[in-house]
Chain A
Amino acid sequence: MQLVNRQKTLQALRELVGGIEDSATRSRSSFSLWRQGFARGLLTEFTGRGKTEFLVAFLKEHLDFKVAWIEETLSINPFGIFQRQGALQNITFIESHEKINWTVEQVLRSGVFEVVVVSQSLFSQDLLRRFQILNERNQGHFFLLSDELHSSWAIALQMEVQKTEEGLFDIFMKRHKEVL
């Protein structure tokens, strides 16, 4: 009896945060290098030597997206994005220093960006879950660029991207669960 109640509560909570939404019904942003495209409202994490190039290629295909690019200490080269035909006028760069958690939360809460990119930062399970809920509400894209993948269940899609010498991308799927 208790188990049934617990399952019902979980179901209700999942519906509340949108976790129950079927992957087929989710709105997606297309990407020529990843035919399924990226589902909105989910957390996606990239790793590997080609992750930033891969993400910039995605942004190049969606020039109208408003992007927040958050780093603790800035290492991204905007000129590099410009050379790869990214829309610099739609990218807001934020150097958060030690206030990365606060910054990401504020950016997500505002709901003004369609894409939020957080680079080279480690977050706790609780924080990632909070980001996931906020992102779910905004129905935006949240991309993490990490050297090592987080082991959090809040991240729906984890990919390792390697850029080959020919300029192509080798993509290795590490996790793919679009229904939380």
Chain B
Amino acid sequence: MKVICLYFPDKMRDYKLKDLAEIFYRYTPQIAVHGELALFLEISKCERLYPLDSMVRIIKKIMRQVQLNPRMAWAEDPSTALSLCVYQKKIKEDLPLEALPFYLNPFVKDEVQGQHLEKMRASFARLGVHTLRDFLSLPVSSLSSRFGRLGLYLHEQVSRPQKVWPFFVPEDKVIEKLSFQDDWHMGNLEVLTFYLKTLLDRVVLRLKGRGEEAKSIQVIFRQEKFSTIKNPDYSIDVSFSMPQLSTKAILALIKEKVEHALHHQPLQGIVESLSFEVKESIPLLTRQKDIFNPKKEEHEEAFGTLLARLSLKLGEKSVFQAQIKESHLPEKTWRRCLPQTQVVNPPSYATERPLRMLQRPEKINACQGQIFIFNKSLQVESLSHREVILSEWWNGFEERIYFRAKTTTGEQLWLFQSRLGVFLHGYFD
């Protein structure tokens, strides 16, 4: 077994160690936490993928990103790794006897046994036993007579540690929060962007750890409670048409949305905290890297980001890919679907349709070879390509007779006649 321990001597503000642990879930599922004090990563099973020195580098990089500076140590078992971190020693034998509680249980602090251990440590100190080296040199038989079952158990754990690793379950939701000092106020959007990025870095790292991509994120500004503020939580929902996992891309989208929201409805009070909640996420599809075309991945990411950005600004339905539908009605021959959707278009047996279609057929006046469209009078030269199309039976088989009308000025219009009159439906362009 090889265990890396991250020890956080200072109490972390806005951080829960369990949330932080999720970041490493992609490297190893063998994760454990000791309250809000230490985080353990068992790396023996993933050592071929991530050797110890690479893993240490990765951890250091992640810690820099989340702006934390824990102590780090590694050993063959979690108790020793934690003790080395806490007492800042290089080897196990140099550890003081104060480390014994960690050998009892490195994952949970045992208060009851802790009192017995303290008494035991005082006795050892009187006997001149100060380090684990001294402790290990004591004969086992003398321990059982003097300290009973606990002494024997501790000796065994220090010499041959064996611990049952607890099962790690990631949190249900990804929520990250940042509390502000009392005197902090949001000066401008640039200041806010800094905090948004800090939070987003954490969210993205956690999502990566969980193997997910964000589809929808809620940004919540919690304002100070005042009688004038009806709802202290000012929330902004940001949905992405394409799932996102890049801090840069998500930040740009969130910034745009927040800017827009705050412009229309400014905050009413002092902001106490800022939080992100991932409302919807989807599994991240990991693929082999294309080593012959490294730009491809970059390109796909840029495409996804652009689509998300356009959808956010123009509306989800305004950015789409067309999918062909089997229908004889010209207005129902295609439908909008998300870009990059893999679709199989059915073959078409319809006659040639115009490349330009009106969103709704426009009623026109026609008499004696003249048609009047959009305040313009056009002389029809010829009518051709007659086609009769019936509406669906549940709409009463309404008949439309389509024509291609060529005007003297060269336009080719696609008209139809129904019982309601003559309509322009499209034009050949």
A residues with CB within 8 A of B: 49-53, 56, 66, 73-84, 88-89, 91-97, 99, 102-103, 106-107, 110-112, 145, 162-163
Contacts and interface: CB of A to CB of B under 8 A. Distances in A.
B307 interface: yes
5 contacts: A49-B411, A66-B303, A78-B322, A79-B350, A93-B320
A118 B314 CA distance: 16
Contacts, number: 116
B354 interface: yes
Contact of B310 (A88, A89, A103): A103
Given A52-B429, A79-B324, A81-B355, A94 B345 contact: no
Interface string B297-341: 001001101110110011001111111100000100110100100
B357 interface: yes
B65 interface: no
A43 B1 CA distance: 64
Nearest to B426: A77
B196 to A, nearest CB: 21
B314 A95 contact: yes
A163 B310 CA distance: 34
A161 B317 CA distance: 32
Given A50-B429, A76-B356, A80-B355, A94 B412 contact: no
A92 B334 contact: no
Interface residues of B, number: 42
Contacts of A106: 306, 309-310
Contact of A97 (B314, B322, B357, B429): B314
Nearest to A163: B428
Contacts of A97: 314, 318
B428 A53 contact: yes
B325 to A, nearest CB: 9
Contact of B302 (A81, A112, A145): A112
A88 B324 contact: yes
A121 B339 CA distance: 24
B227 interface: no
Nearest to A112: B303
B213 to A, nearest CB: 18
A93 B339 CA distance: 9
Contact of B313 (A56, A80, A99, A145): A99
A74 B359 contact: yes
Contacts of B352: 80, 83
A110 B306 CA distance: 7
B429 A49 contact: yes
